Amino acid sequence: MLGFLIRLVARLPFLFIAGRAYGPEIVGRYAIAVLVIEFVALVATIGLKRGLAQALSSTDRPHTHVVWDALVVAFVAALIASGVMILFPQALFPNSPVMGLERFLPLVVIAIALSDVSLSALAYRHNIGASVTARAIIEPWTISIAAWVFSFVSTRDGLLMAYVLSMSAALVASLVPFVREYGLPLGWRPQPAVIWGLARLNAPLAGADAIEWATRNVDRFILGLLFAPSVVGIYYMAQQVASVPQRLKSSFDPILGPVITQSLAAGDRPAVARQVRQVGFWILCAQAGLAVMFSIPAEGVMGLLGREFVIGSAVLCVLLFAEVFASPGAVCETALIYIARHTNLMISVCVLMLQIALSFVLIVVARGQGWSVPVQSAAPAVALALSLTIGSIAKGLLLQAKLGAPVVSIRPSFFAAVVIAGLVGAAFMALPHRYEWAEMSLGMPAILVTFLYVIIRFGFGPEDRALFRKVPRAGGATAEAA
């Protein structure tokens, strides 16, 4: 939780610097390049971000050997993937020429893949502090500071240079605690058959990860095909603000995955349902609270990034609540990837296909009606919200059938918190124009505090307190459970 808050605070300066110092067109170019790189890096992990916990739970080999096998798998896959991208660099820059060393930008895929696998191995031993340090402190603050510094060097390449530096710094911050925790692979010899079996076993997980990621990012790719880079840049900035709540769910992944795999190994499916239900409720609440906080003063939030980005406020609102609707399904997927991975993958594929089809249909309709470009560019966001809601319902029903117990819990305090926080926000928005400064500086904190007070006061029970207690860590130390 602390890591999420730190990451939230650290991410906002980057958005402000990118918007103010570089502008929508350069941000759009950066957004497409990072989109392709992160997708390739995700595929290169071969599902090990979530599959490594299961591999460690079900092996008799020394864990040190298993995790180094995983690093070899990720390194080889990332090396091949980055090599292919170097041969076809235009995939990263479809709307602009490739210049200078930009051809070698895909090499950063190796750093991302190795960092992800290292942090997953640490998470298995409940070392969440490493993830917080690498992903919530080192990575966002490095890219924010570097983006500002490089803006004086090159406003064309500064964002990409900052991105490479931040990913490299995150790799170092991941490998150092990894080596401390697992040690060097003494007596280890790479086993090609074992490594290949590990990659093949995790192929469905890799597919699920890729589909989930594509669902969140294919809208940006579609915009890149049909609109100018500046439109992509505006949408990207709205998407980055809206993805802040989604990162809360990823903050729980490192601990929720190992807990679920351990409960499944013990054959305790009711415990899995209880864990998913409880964590899912709190993630849903936190995402809804942030959605209300950011959507009510949406124009002011986007205006902070630059005057050109204000027209993306409607997209921001749609994307924020899309994350809320997707939250139950995203948490359910954390368990489905272990007990119904193929069915889960098929649902994800269908959701992605639906999203792509809806995006093109809505854009065609908007253009046929002669609507403005900002309205047309919001079509992929609407398609995302609709498809994620359908997918969330489907995955919740599937997991409930598999576990034989309810997996989604929405308490009355949730609705009360949304309504009351919304009223507080509306009150601040109704202030006279001369008090416009108070809408964000006072209104946003007031909305969040009100939401949290109602939820904690009326929805917090004994089991919820246990969620935030410390749990035993391998070797007798302790680590935060959330």
pLDDT digits (tens), the chain, 482 positions:
666 666 667 777 888 899 889 989 889 888 888 988 988 888 888 777 767 776 777 767 778 888 888 888 889 889 999 999 998 888 888 767 777 778 889 999 999 999 988 988 888 887 878 887 888 789 988 999 999 999 998 888 899 999 999 999 999 999 999 998 888 887 777 776 666 676 677 676 677 677 877 877 888 888 888 888 889 899 999 988 887 766 666 666 666 777 787 787 777 888 888 888 888 888 888 889 989 999 999 888 898 888 889 899 999 999 999 989 988 988 888 888 788 878 988 998 899 999 999 999 999 999 999 898 888 989 999 999 999 999 999 999 999 999 888 888 888 888 999 999 999 999 998 888 777 778 888 889 999 999 989 988 887 777 766 655 654 444 443 333 33
**pLDDT value of position 5:** 67
C-alpha closest to that of 81 among 53, 56, 110: 110
Beta carbons of 395 and 336 less than 8 angstroms apart: yes
CA angle (411, 413, 417) in 5-degree steps: 130
Per-residue confidence (pLDDT) for residue 267, from 0 to 100: 78
How far is residue 64's CA from residue 72's CA, in Å, rounded to a whole number? 12
| Pairwise CA distance, residues 132 & 345, whole Å | 29
Q: What are phi and psi of 472, to 5 degrees?
A: -60, 140
pLDDT value of residue 469:
60
Count of alpha carbons within 13 Å of 96, Cβ hemisphere only? 22
CA distance 290 to 322: 12
Beta bridge partners of 478: 472
CA–CA distance, 313 with 317 (Å, rounded to integer)? 6
Residue 304 CA to chain centroid, in angstroms?
Answer: 23
Q: Using an 8 Å Cβ cutoff, are 115 and 170 in contact?
A: yes
CA distance 208 to 228: 31
Separation of alpha carbons 76 and 309, rounded Å? 40
Residue 128 has a pLDDT of 77
In this prediction, residue 482 carries a pLDDT of: 36
Helix (H) or strand (E) holding 478: strand 478-480
In SS3 terms, 373-442 reads as: HHHHHCHHHHHHHHHHHHHHHHHHHHHHHHHCCCCCCCCHHHHHHHHHHHHHHHHHHCCCHHHCHHHHHC
Q: How many angstroms separate the CA atoms of 116 and 388, rounded? A: 25
Concatenating the DSSP letter of every residue in 110-143 gives: HHHHHHHHHHHHHHHTT--HHHIIIIIIIHHHHH
The set of residues, in sequence order, having a beta carbon less than 8 Å from that of 400 and lying 6+ positions away, is 273, 406, 407, 408
Q: pTM for the complete prediction?
A: 0.78
Residue among 458, 432, 326, 424 at smallest CA distance from 384:
326
Half-sphere exposure of 125 toward its Cβ, with a 13 Å CA cutoff? 19
Q: What pLDDT score does 433 carry?
A: 75
DSSP bridge partners of 480: 470
- The helix-helix angle for 158-182 and 108-124 (nearest 10°) equals 40
Q: In angstroms, how far is CA 268 from the centroid of its own chain? A: 29
Q: Is the dihedral angle over the CA atoms 471, 473, 477, 481 positive or is it negative?
A: negative
Q: Please say whether the beta carbons of 280 and 333 come within 8 A.
A: no
Which amino acid is present at 337? I
Question: Which residues are paired to 471 by β-bridges?
Answer: 479
